[in-house]
Amino acid sequence: MSEECIFCKIIAGEIPADKLYEDDDVLAFWDISPQAPVHFLVIPKKHISRPVDIVEADEQIAGKLLRIGADLAKEQGVEDSYRVIFNNGAKSGQVVFHVHMHVLGGKEKPWPM
Ligand code: 5GP
Ligand code: ZN
């Protein structure tokens, strides 16, 4: 947990979020500022700042983000048309420095962030 991190605070329950899924490793919740009809975030509970900071020991959790995102996309009925986005670094548009996978769907080519 990083004390300054807003997503760690959501994981700790210190900030509310509208959750779709949670287990020991992963949390998924609706984006507060949706850019598509379906827009949620899937995050590891472990604090990792940026995708580029993912190391070999994180492989399983990194794959799990994709698998949980797929399950939830099916649940939301967007399995035929969703995009996933990981922003990495401020110049790419990363604002929250805790790895998160955007899942966007529900319209054609839900892009850009
Ligand atoms: P980034 O630009 O870092 O890839 O995306 C961060 C995302 O987190 C943005 O889409 C933003 O709307 C979302 N976000 C930021 N703060 C909160 C929050 O407190 N709650 C929720 N649910 N989403 C947030
Ligand atoms: Zn964090």
List pLDDT tens digits, range 33-64. 999 999 999 999 999 999 999 999 999 999 99
Per-residue pLDDT tens over the stretch 60-81? 999 999 999 999 999 999 999 9
pLDDT > 70? residue 112: no
* 104 has a pLDDT exceeding 90: yes
The answer to whether the pTM exceeds 0.85 is yes
Distance in angstroms (rounded) separating the CA atoms of residues 58 and 81: 27
Domains of the chain with CATH codes: 6-105 (3.30.428.10)
Q: Phi/psi of residue 49, each to 5°?
A: -65, -50
For ligand 1, pick from 31, 85, 88 the residue to mutate: most ligand atoms within 8 Å of CB.
31
Name the token pair of 15. Answer: 């900030």
pLDDT at residue 108 in the model: 80
Cα 4 to middle of ligand 2, angstroms: 8
